[in-house]
Chain A
Amino acid sequence: MYEFDWSSIPNALPFLWDGMMISLQITATAVIIGIVWGTLLALMRLSPIKPLSWFAAGYVNLFRAVPLVMVLLWFFLIVPHLLESLFGFPRGSDMRLGSAMAGFALFEAAYYSEIMRAGIQSVPKGQMSAASALGMTYAQGMRLVVLPQAFRNMVPLLLTQGIILFQDTSLVYVSALADFFGAAYKVGDRDGRLVELLLFAGAVYFVICFTASRIVRHYQQKLKTA
């Protein structure tokens, strides 16, 4: 019978907390940049200018067809070299966090772009007609009339994607970056208490994601009845 021993967790809490901050930082940047870049991709995809539309379609299809873990590895391996040779960053400086953020943001943008594209298409055509009839340009109509509504309709899906992203940040362990999962693993490994630490980490992920998806569900109901 395995004897559980939770005693190494209390001392490790500050280290785990730092890890959680890294996970949250990666999630926040990837959500924000992902949504902005994803929205731009969606606009390109829907644009009548063919090369833009092809570029966006190619980008989205490429990123959706490769595993996230591979994209992350590309970024860990390639981005530091790029920065080194382009901007003369000192060799060996730690760019794992920056690489992780960039990798996640660019990868998630592909998914956000599909959500925003559906959102834009969910706004009735007449809204753009009305904006145009008032003398707004296409860009003004998009920015002031269509996108706010697309965004509002898609908030639940955008947030749900954010929750998935938060879970996926654990994949940065491939670069030995001490995010929450990585930190828990390191502590468990050091103290020979891997089972306890991973159970604890799992419980934390569960509580955060379950609570967040409850909130999203609640918001979704409110949106439906409004």
Chain B
Amino acid sequence: MITMNNVSKHYGSFQVLTECSTQVQKGEVIVVCGPSGSGKSTLIKVVNGLEPFQSGEIIVNGLSVGDPKTNLSKLRSMVGMVFQNFELFPHMSIIDNLCIAQTKVLHRTQEVARDKGLKLLERVGLSAQAAKFPGQLSGGQQQRVAIARALAMDPICMLFDEPTSALDPEMVNEVLDVMTELAREGMTMMCVTHEMGFAKRVASRVIFMDQGRIVEDDSKEAFFANPRSERAQQFLAKILHH
């Protein structure tokens, strides 16, 4: 589904990604973790071309992301993305947030888009909020809407960038529950997260990054039992202590 071969990216002389390679099969859930600034966000943003990269190759569903001939908008419409700060559109109601890309990008009719939107809102437990505006919802509710908005496009895979790290602790679980359910249904996912409980429950593999490199790329059992690198050991010791 997603293949990365020796992907490198730099800002000026600063190397953000160094020769990153990995593969994600259909139905796999990959958890990406690592210290702050290690390039996790950048790693998933190059997958849908939100960040350009200078060398290497990324293939998503047979399409080359770096190829100038690829229609990036079309590719992005097939890849769902959920952001740390939700990024709901504050000037639109919840239901309009769910419909706008369906109608403007996929050219679905308003009725079809609305039906789909309402079904997805029900699925994330927010049917009652359809007519409200994002500012009237709690952080946890907003993030669930953001997930529903991405799902409304019928994505072939989902990218998550620290979806729970901007949330109050009591709201983290409602979002993780939605993500867990998605994973159980077989959605292909790449999640940047430090929620190790979530990783233990649903991850197929864990990628550990440090200074722009993929340092570990292992099954979750192997990663949690005995991480090979010292950096990952330290990281785990710190994060599991909290």
Contact = CB atoms under 8 A, between A and B. Distances in A.
Q: Which 3 A-B pairs have the closest CB atoms?
A: A135-B77, A130-B87, A134-B101
Interface residues of B, number: 26
Interface of B: 48, 50, 73-74, 76-81, 83, 85, 87-91, 100-101, 104-106, 135, 149-150, 153
Nearest to B85: A126
The A interface is mostly helix, strand or loop, or mixed, namely: helix
Given A126-B83, A135-B153, A144-B100, 20 more contacts: A124-B87, A127-B87, A129-B87, A130-B81, A130-B87, A132-B73, A132-B76, A133-B83, A134-B77, A134-B100, A134-B150, A135-B74, A135-B77, A135-B78, A136-B101, A136-B104, A137-B73, A149-B89, A149-B91, A226-B135
Interface of A: 124, 126-127, 129-137, 140, 144-145, 148-149, 152, 226
B83 A130 contact: yes
Contact of B81 (A133, A137, A144, A148): A133
A129 B83 contact: yes
Nearest to A127: B87
Nearest to A128: B87
A136 B89 contact: no
Contacts of B73: 132, 135-137
12 contacts: A130-B89, A131-B89, A133-B76, A133-B83, A133-B150, A134-B149, A135-B73, A135-B78, A135-B105, A136-B101, A144-B100, A149-B91
B91 A148 contact: yes
